[in-house]
A and B are shown apart, each in its own frame.
Chain A
Amino acid sequence: MKSVRVWLTVLLCGVLWISVSSCFNASPAYISTSKTRNIHLIVKMNKGDYWNTLKLGAEAAAKEFNVNLTFKAPDSESDIEEQVVMVEDSIQEKADVIILAASSYMGLAQVVDQAAYSRIPVISVDAEVGSAKVRTYVGSNGYEAGQKSAERLIQLLQGYGEIGIINFTNSSLTPDSGKTGSIDYGARDADEREKGFLNYAARFPNVKVVQIAYTSSSTSDAENLTREMLNKYPQLRGIATLNEIASQGAARVIQGLDRDSVKMIAFDSSPSMMESLQDDTVQATVIQNPFSNGYLAVKYAVEALEGMDIPERVDTGTKLIDLENMLWPENQKLLFPFVR
Chain B
Amino acid sequence: MNKPRGYFFPLRPGSRKSGRLRLSSKLRSIQLIIMLTFMAVTAAVAVIVSVMLYGKFANTAEENANLNMQQIIEQVNYNLELYVKGMGSIFATAEKQITSTPSIDSPLLYERMDTLMSSREDLVSVAVFTPQGQYVVGTPGQTMRMNTGLESQSWFTTAKHTSEISYSAPHIQNLFKGRYTWVVSISKLIQYRENGELRTGVLLLDFNFRTIDELSKQVKLGKRGYAYILDPLGNIVYHPQQQLIYAGLKYENVEPVLEYAYRSYLDESTGEKRFITVRTLAQTGWKIVGVAYYDEIVTTKRDLNQFLAWFLGVVLVCVIAVSVFLSWLIASPIRKLERTVKQVAEGDLNTPINVSGAYEVEQLSRRFNMMLQRIRQLMEQIIYEQETKRKGELEVLQSQINPHFLYNTLNSVIRLAERGKTDEVVTMIQSLSRFFRISLSKGKNIITIQEELDHIRHYLVIQSFRFRNKFRYEITAQEEVLECQTIKLILQPIVENALYHGIEMMPDEGLISITAGLQDGLIIIRVSDNGLGMSKETVNGILSGSVKSTSGSGVGVRNVHERIGLYYGREYGLAFQSELEEGTVVTIVFPARPAGEAMDEQKEETNL
- A contacts, CB < 8 Å to B: 1, 9, 13, 16-17, 20-21, 24-25, 28-30, 56-57, 60, 64, 271, 274-275, 278-280, 289, 291-292, 295-296, 323, 327, 329, 332-338, 340
User: Does A334 lie within 8 Å of B171, measured CB to CB?
Assistant: no
- B contacts, CB < 8 Å to A: 26, 145-149, 153, 169, 171-172, 174, 177, 179-180, 182, 209-210, 213, 235, 241-244, 246-249, 271-272, 295, 302, 305-306, 308-309, 312-313, 316-317, 320
Q: How far is the CB of B497 from chain A (nearest CB, A)?
A: 68
User: Does A16 lie within 8 Å of B272, measured CB to CB?
Assistant: no
- A274 neighbours in B (Cβ, 8 Å): 174, 180
- A323 neighbours in B (Cβ, 8 Å): 147
User: Does B249 lie within 8 Å of A327, measured CB to CB?
Assistant: no
Take A30-B272, A323-B147, A336-B180 as given contacts and tell me if A57 and B247 are in contact as well, using a CB distance cutoff of 8 Å: yes
Distance between Cα atoms of A21 and B210 in the complex (Å): 47
Other-chain contact of A338, B246, B272, B305 (Cβ < 8 Å): B246
User: Does B312 lie within 8 Å of A20, measured CB to CB?
Assistant: yes
Take A60-B244, A340-B209 as given contacts and tell me if A20 and B179 are in contact as well, using a CB distance cutoff of 8 Å: no
Distance between Cα atoms of A4 and B155 in the complex (Å): 83
Q: How far is the CB of B44 from chain A (nearest CB, A)?
A: 13
- A296 neighbours in B (Cβ, 8 Å): 249
User: Does B247 lie within 8 Å of A292, measured CB to CB?
Assistant: yes
Q: How far is the CB of A226 from chain B (nearest CB, A)?
A: 22
User: Does A9 lie within 8 Å of B182, measured CB to CB?
Assistant: no
- A20 neighbours in B (Cβ, 8 Å): 309, 312-313
User: Does A60 lie within 8 Å of B241, measured CB to CB?
Assistant: yes
Of all A-B residue pairs in the complex, the 9 with the closest CB atoms, nearest first, are A333-B246, A24-B305, A338-B243, A292-B247, A332-B172, A338-B242, A291-B247, A278-B147, A336-B172
Other-chain contact of B179, A60, A271, A329 (Cβ < 8 Å): A271
Take A13-B316, A20-B309, A278-B174 as given contacts and tell me if A295 and B146 are in contact as well, using a CB distance cutoff of 8 Å: no
Q: Chain A at the B interface: mostly helix, strand, loop or mixed? A: helix
Question: In the complex, what residue of chain A is closest to B313 when comparing beta carbons?
Answer: A17
**Please, could you name 24 A-B residue pairs with CB atoms under 8 Å apart, sorted by A?**
A20-B312, A20-B313, A25-B306, A28-B295, A57-B243, A57-B247, A60-B244, A271-B180, A275-B145, A279-B145, A279-B146, A279-B147, A280-B147, A289-B247, A291-B243, A291-B247, A292-B247, A327-B153, A327-B172, A329-B169, A332-B172, A334-B246, A336-B182, A338-B243
- A291 neighbours in B (Cβ, 8 Å): 243-244, 247
Question: In the complex, what residue of chain B is closest to A277 when comparing beta carbons?
Answer: B147
Other-chain contact of B243, A17, A30, A56, A279 (Cβ < 8 Å): A56
Distance between Cα atoms of A88 and B148 in the complex (Å): 49
Question: In the complex, what residue of chain B is closest to A274 when comparing beta carbons?
Answer: B180
User: Does A340 lie within 8 Å of B246, measured CB to CB?
Assistant: no
Q: How far is the CB of B457 from chain A (nearest CB, A)?
A: 78
Q: How far is the CB of A337 from chain B (nearest CB, A)?
A: 6
Which one of A1, A24, A295 has the greatest number of beta carbons of chain B within 10 Å? A24
User: Does B243 lie within 8 Å of A16, measured CB to CB?
Assistant: no
Distance between Cα atoms of A337 and B181 in the complex (Å): 9
Distance between Cα atoms of A279 and B144 in the complex (Å): 11
Distance between Cα atoms of A29 and B273 in the complex (Å): 11
Distance between Cα atoms of A329 and B242 in the complex (Å): 14
- A292 neighbours in B (Cβ, 8 Å): 247-249
Distance between Cα atoms of A274 and B174 in the complex (Å): 9
- A28 neighbours in B (Cβ, 8 Å): 295
User: Does B179 lie within 8 Å of A295, measured CB to CB?
Assistant: no
Q: How far is the CB of B547 from chain A (nearest CB, A)?
A: 60
- A271 neighbours in B (Cβ, 8 Å): 179-180
Question: In the complex, what residue of chain A is closest to B304 when comparing beta carbons?
Answer: A24
User: Does B316 lie within 8 Å of A16, measured CB to CB?
Assistant: yes
Question: In the complex, what residue of chain B is closest to A331 when comparing beta carbons?
Answer: B172
